[in-house]
């Protein structure tokens, strides 16, 4: 019942708008409303790309052109039905979105914005100068308009179609960003490394964001071309790309209603200043800077605190009932590291290191600073590829695999320096850990199929279980970045557990914790071990290591110098030497005679 409230509200709002516009009777006002719908389609998709995925794009005019010229060429040079041509234009724009997304595999930030800007400029020059195909400034005439009952749509009907498309677009994108894929996109914006570590396929998520923005912008361009029955190069300018970006930033990037607010305000301003193009350009530049530096949350962000709920009630423990079994437990070898070496030029943080991890044990990887411990953890999880050697997990070679792939195999981790998604809630952070364990695909999420809703409910319940396990259930709806450092460590631990790991790698989990928090962490690790999870932790707190570990491995300058039970390692002379050094006078006494001091 709750699930259907928002679609019903959107349907009623769309019906009300259609009823109001039917009373206008003035083509000028109808044209303004139609352009609002067009710009909203552009801004809604752009919001997914910029506001959620954090990918900066200045090439939306090129995607607008892809949709407009696709429908123009298909309807003027073939006998294709104009409705089918609209669908084809959306598909062609999506392909162009994939092409723009490819550079995002290698560049990001301002460099990505420059690449997309180059795409927009290339398209602008292409349609302006390749006159044999695109008509240049003269353009393409005779584009077939959409029809109803064999007649071209009237001005009113174009507006009604625009409103209907906007309502459908809003509902579909809301389904997408409020579930599995929305969390994945937000994680990209925060930290791509942490995102991959919880199983998000980073490049695939970027491509999805670019394609969504491309399809909506392409549909908008096609609608303009079909309504005008004419398109030329004057429609495709860099000014259009800036305007679309401004719609999102001014309204409020990352908010479902930001693009709507920005579209309504700026379309009215655009119409009011249509007689003074130079004033338009100046105002858009000013508003863009204003939105970036003075109002980063946009209009919606400025007023959101007035409408924000006082806070979600803490989840009842009963909501998280059920087994907290995580890993399969059992016995035998889980991970085998054989002869692993890593070279960074002349530096070797790992030199022919070999060890084996047994299921159901808590292992510790210790050593002085610079011993190569974190490098080893990064090699195990795919962040760094070893120069030589083999890493086998569950009898499969993992060297060279992508980070998200290793996570999906059953290897979770935390980081030496916290990598939380600080702007997301504690609950959303932990639910992100379940990303790779959810099976609902893009289209199931887009249309909110029952299977997708069931997956979302199961993920939420599991996340609450894990928050109860680490003692953070009462803080589920707090922003993760607002918690004290020690609690943030627990959030990251819960997020790693949400990946359902068989092997959990902890990189200095007690760093920055006070003695009481360290003791509580040790007790928590023992509870996690009883849940069927094998643990390998890098740690400097020897009291913690000796109290919870079953097996200890010692590295020194990238070389394994000892391993065994905690008591055996603690008494090993080479370990004592690595930590405490050798007494210099004693060392001098052992120098052979005749050797210089």
**Residues 302 and 78: beta-carbon distance below 8 Å:** no
Q: Cβ distance 454 to 179 under 8 Å? A: no
| Domains of the chain by start residue, with CATH | 10-236 (no CATH), 333-581 (3.40.50.300)
Q: What is the number of alpha carbons within 13 Å of residue 39 lying toward its C-beta?
A: 29
pLDDT digits (tens, 9 = 90+) for 506-521: 999 998 888 899 999 9
Residue 168 is predicted with a pLDDT of: 96
Among 267, 269, 258, smallest CA distance to 302 is for: 258
Helix (H, G, I), strand (E, B) or coil at 182: helix
Question: Which residues, in sequence order, are bridge partners of residue 358?
Answer: 333
CA–CA separation, 561 and 556 (whole Å): 7
DSSP codes joined into one string, 272-299? HTTT-HHHHHHHHHHHHHHHHHT-TTHH
CA nearest neighbour of 473 among 313, 328, 273: 313
- Which residues, in sequence order, are CB contacts of 4 under 8 Å at separation 6+? none
Structure tokens at 198: 């919880």
How far apart (Å, rounded) are the C-alpha atoms in residues 180 and 492?
18
Which letter, b or e, does each residue of 340-358 get, where b requires 16 or more Cβ atoms within 10 Å of its Cβ? bbbeeeeebbbbebebebe
Q: Which of 395, 394, 391, 399 is nearest to 410 (CA)?
A: 394
Q: Are the C-beta atoms of 509 and 537 separated by less than 8 Å?
A: yes
Are residues 299 and 252 in contact, defined by beta-carbon separation less than 8 angstroms?
Answer: yes
CA distance 236 to 231: 9
How far is Cα 393 from Cα 47, in angstroms, rounded to an integer? Answer: 40
pTM: 0.88
Q: Given this model, what pLDDT does residue 206 score?
A: 93
Q: For residue 381, what is the enclosing H or E element?
A: none
**Burial class of residue 517 in the structure, from the number of CB atoms within 10 Å of its CB (0-12 exposed, 13-18 middle, 19+ buried):** middle
Q: What angle do CA 203, 204, 206 make, to 5 degrees?
A: 65
Q: Which residues of the chain have pLDDT under 50?
A: 309-311, 318-322, 584-597
Tokens representing residue 5 in the block = 């409230």
* 42/216 Cα distance (integer angstroms): 6
Instruction: Return the exposure string of 257-291: e unless at least 16 CB atoms fall within 10 Å of the residue's CB, then b.
Output: ebbbbbbbebbeebeebeeeeeebeebbeebbeeb
What's the rounded Cα separation, in Å, for the pair 54 and 423?
13
Contacts of 574 (CB under 8 A, 6+ apart): 554, 556, 561, 562
Please give the Cα distance from 17 to 93 (Å, whole number): 29
What is the β-pairing status of strands 503-507 and 411-413?
parallel
- For residue 273, what are its two tokens? 């200043």
Which pLDDT value is given to residue 575? 86
**Separation CA 78–CA 41 (nearest Å):** 27
How many whole angstroms separate alpha carbon 334 and alpha carbon 29? Answer: 69
N-terminal to C-terminal alpha carbon distance within the chain: 85
Enumerate residues 6+ apart whose C-beta is below 8 A from 237.
61, 124
Query: What is the reported pLDDT for 264?
Result: 94
């Amino acid at each position: 019942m709750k699930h259907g409230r928002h679609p019903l509200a959107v349907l009623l709002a769309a019906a009300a708008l259609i009823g109001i516009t039917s009373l206008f009777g003035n083509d000028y006002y109808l044209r303004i409303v139609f352009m609002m719908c067009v710009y909203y389609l552009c801004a809604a998709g752009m919001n997914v790309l910029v506001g959620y995925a954090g990918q900066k794009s200045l090439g939306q005019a090129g995607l607008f052109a892809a949709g407009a010229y696709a429908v123009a060429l298909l309807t003027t040079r073939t006998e294709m039905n104009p409705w089918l041509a609209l669908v084809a234009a959306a598909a062609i724009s999506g392909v162009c979105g994939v092409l723009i997304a490819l550079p995002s595999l290698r560049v990001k930030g301002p460099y990505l914005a420059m690449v997309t800007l180059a795409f927009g400029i290339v398209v602008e020059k292409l349609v302006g100068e390749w006159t044999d195909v695109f008509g240049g400034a003269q353009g393409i005439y005779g584009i077939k308009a959409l029809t109803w009952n064999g007649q071209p749509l009237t001005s009113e009907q174009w507006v009604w179609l625009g409103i209907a498309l906007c309502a459908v677009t809003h509902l579909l994108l809301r389904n997408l960003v409020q579930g599995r894929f929305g969390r994945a996109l937000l994680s990209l914006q925060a930290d791509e490394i942490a995102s991959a570590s919880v199983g998000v396929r980073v490049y695939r998520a970027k491509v999805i964001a670019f394609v969504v923005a491309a399809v909506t912008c392409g549909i908008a361009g096609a609608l303009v071309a079909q309504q005008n029955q004419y398109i030329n190069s004057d429609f495709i300018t860099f000014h259009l790309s800036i305007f679309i970006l401004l719609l999102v930033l001014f309204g409020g990037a990352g908010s479902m209603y930001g693009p709507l607010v920005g579209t309504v305000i700026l379309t009215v301003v655009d119409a009011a200043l249509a007689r003074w193009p130079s004033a338009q350009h100046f105002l858009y530049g000013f508003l863009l800077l204003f939105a970036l530096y003075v109002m980063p949350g946009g209009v919606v962000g400025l007023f959101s605190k007035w409408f924000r709920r006082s806070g979600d009630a803490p989840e009842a423990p009963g909501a998280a009932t059920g087994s907290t079994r995580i890993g399969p437990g059992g016995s035998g070898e889980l991970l085998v590291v054989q002869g692993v070496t890593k070279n960074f030029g002349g530096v070797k943080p790992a030199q022919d290191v070999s060890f084996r991890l047994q299921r159901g044990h808590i292992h510790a990887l210790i050593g002085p600073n610079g011993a190569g411990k974190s490098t080893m953890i990064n090699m195990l999880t795919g962040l760094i590829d070893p120069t030589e050697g083999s890493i086998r997990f569950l009898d499969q070679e993992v060297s060279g695999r992508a980070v998200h792939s290793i996570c999906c195999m059953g290897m979770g981790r935390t980081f030496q320096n916290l990598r939380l998604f600080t702007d997301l809630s504690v609950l959303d952070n932990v639910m992100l850990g379940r990303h790779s364990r959810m099976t609902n695909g893009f289209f199931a999420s887009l249309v909110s199929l029952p299977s997708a809703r069931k997956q979302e409910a199961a993920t939420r319940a599991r996340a609450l279980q894990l928050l109860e396990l680490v003692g953070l259930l009462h803080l589920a709806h707090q922003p993760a970045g607002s918690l004290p450092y020690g609690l943030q460590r627990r959030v990251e631990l819960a997020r790693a557990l949400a990946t359902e790991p068989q092997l959990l790698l902890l990189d200095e989990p007690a760093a920055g914790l006070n003695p009481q928090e360290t003791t509580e962490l040790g007790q928590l690790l023992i509870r996690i071990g009883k849940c069927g999870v094998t643990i390998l932790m890098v740690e400097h707190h020897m009291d913690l290591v000796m109290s919870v570990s079953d097996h200890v491995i010692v590295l020194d300058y990238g070389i394994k110098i000892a391993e065994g039970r905690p008591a055996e390692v603690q008494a090993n002379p080479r370990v004592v030497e690595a930590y405490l050094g050798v007494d210099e006078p004693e060392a001098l006494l052992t120098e052979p005679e005749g050797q210089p001091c």
